[in-house]
């Protein structure tokens, strides 16, 4: 029988002792929705509310709320939050709120993410009540959580009634793929794959690879990397203009949706160091629920690509998992 961890053997409330838990990167994404009128949505999007800077005020309130969670929820631990992001989106008659909280420690940050959503939503209500006093904040819920021994958990969108059997999925997984003819035949050391794998493990991904394939066999490499539907596939190499460079074509052949902004951001970052970055033809996108990103084959190109992915990868994977609020 599943037990409530905040209740002791005598039925009294308690604060869970987490001192024996391992320190890991903890990430949680939560969401909610302020249901209002089309007029309010129009005014907020146009910054035309009587109380100005609606979204900025709500965002700051949400971040402040996350930082105060242990004071508001009595059995929560005090956490050193490394990041709190609050973002908004719009439908015809609602404003969606999504919060991502991140820390490295011995306990999760789901309550911080949920508090950020709730406080941001209540602040929105306060800001719009002069126009719509009947607005309602609905559906405050956890979307995903990562870290700790349980790894990755995603809300079951097909069944909102979470049961004890609906526990945790396996830790979020990633595959590293290297396109290198010399690496595949053993005449050239792999100088980029291990770097990517180490970067992923530092962010608590379960990593497969590096898988090394010759340029001519990269389509088979993509198929191999996709095996098991990992959350993320990062490839390196084969993105240039050489006749043998075929990674973009092999990747594009399996994509169901492209993410052109990610690929362009990687090229732009590289241009800060070398004009040769403009020659990269790397692509990024989705194949089902797997994100695939092509990085160049040079150590510098990989470093630049990972720097681009660092601030966006958690939010991107949360969107794929069912989040997706965004600013206009």
Mind telling me the catalytic residues? 126
Partners of 285 in beta bridges: 258, 292
Residue 112 assigned ligand-binding role: yes
- Name 299's Cβ contacts closer than 8 Å, sequence gap at least 6: 191, 192, 195
CB 101 within 8 A of CB 66: yes
Closest CA to 146 of 20, 318, 22, 324: 318
Residue 328 assigned ligand-binding role: no
Distance of alpha carbon 305 from alpha carbon 294, whole angstroms: 9
Distance of alpha carbon 328 from alpha carbon 326, whole angstroms: 6
Distance of alpha carbon 77 from alpha carbon 17, whole angstroms: 10
Question: For tokens 């939503």, what's the residue?
Answer: 121
Angle, in degrees to the nearest 10, between helices 260-271 and 299-309: 130
For residue 88, what is the enclosing H or E element? strand 81-91
Residue 137 assigned ligand-binding role: no
Distance of alpha carbon 87 from alpha carbon 82, whole angstroms: 17
CB 144 within 8 A of CB 29: yes
Distance of alpha carbon 217 from alpha carbon 127, whole angstroms: 57
Residue 258 burial (CB < 10 Å; 0-12/13-18/19+)? middle
Partners of 208 in beta bridges: 175
Could you tell me the strand order of the sheet in which 284-287 lies? 206-213, 173-179, 232-236, 290-295, 284-287, 257-258
Binding site for substrate: what residues are annotated? 75-77, 111-112
Binding site: what residues are annotated? 75-77, 111-112
């Amino acid at each position: 029988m599943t037990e409530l961890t905040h209740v002791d053997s005598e039925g009294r409330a308690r604060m869970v002792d987490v001192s024996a838990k391992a320190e890991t990167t903890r990430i949680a994404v939560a969401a909610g929705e302020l249901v209002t009128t089309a007029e309010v949505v129009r005014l907020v999007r146009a910054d035309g509310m009587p109380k100005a800077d609606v979204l900025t005020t709500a965002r700051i309130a949400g971040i402040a709320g996350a930082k105060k969670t242990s004071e508001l929820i009595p059995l929560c631990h005090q956490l050193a939050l490394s990041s709190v992001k609050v973002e908004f989106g719009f439908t015809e008659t609602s404003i969606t709120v999504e919060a991502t909280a991140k820390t490295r420690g011995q306990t999760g940050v789901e309550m911080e993410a949920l508090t950020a959503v709730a406080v941001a939503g209540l602040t929105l209500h306060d800001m719009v009540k002069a126009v719509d006093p009947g607005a309602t904040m609905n559906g405050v819920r956890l979307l995903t959580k990562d870290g700790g021994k349980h790894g990755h958990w995603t809300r079951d969108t097909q069944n909102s009634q979470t049961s004890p059997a609906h526990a945790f999925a396996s830790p979020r997984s990633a595959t590293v793929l290297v396109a290198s003819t010399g690496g595949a035949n053993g005449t050239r050391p792999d100088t980029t794959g291990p770097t990517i794998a180490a970067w992923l493990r530092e962010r608590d991904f379960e990593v497969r690879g590096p898988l090394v394939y010759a340029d001519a066999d990269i389509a088979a490499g993509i198929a191999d990397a996709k095996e098991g539907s990992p959350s993320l596939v990062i490839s390196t190499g084969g993105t240039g203009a050489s006749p043998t460079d075929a990674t973009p074509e092999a990747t594009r052949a399996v994509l169901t949706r492209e993410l052109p902004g990610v690929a362009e951001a990687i090229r732009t970052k590289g241009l800060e160091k070398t004009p040769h970055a403009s020659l990269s033809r790397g692509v990024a996108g989705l194949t089902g629920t797997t994100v695939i990103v092509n990085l160049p084959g040079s150590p510098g190109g990989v470093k630049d690509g990972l720097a681009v992915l660092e601030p966006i990868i958690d939010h991107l994977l949360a969107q794929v998992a069912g989040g997706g609020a965004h600013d206009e």
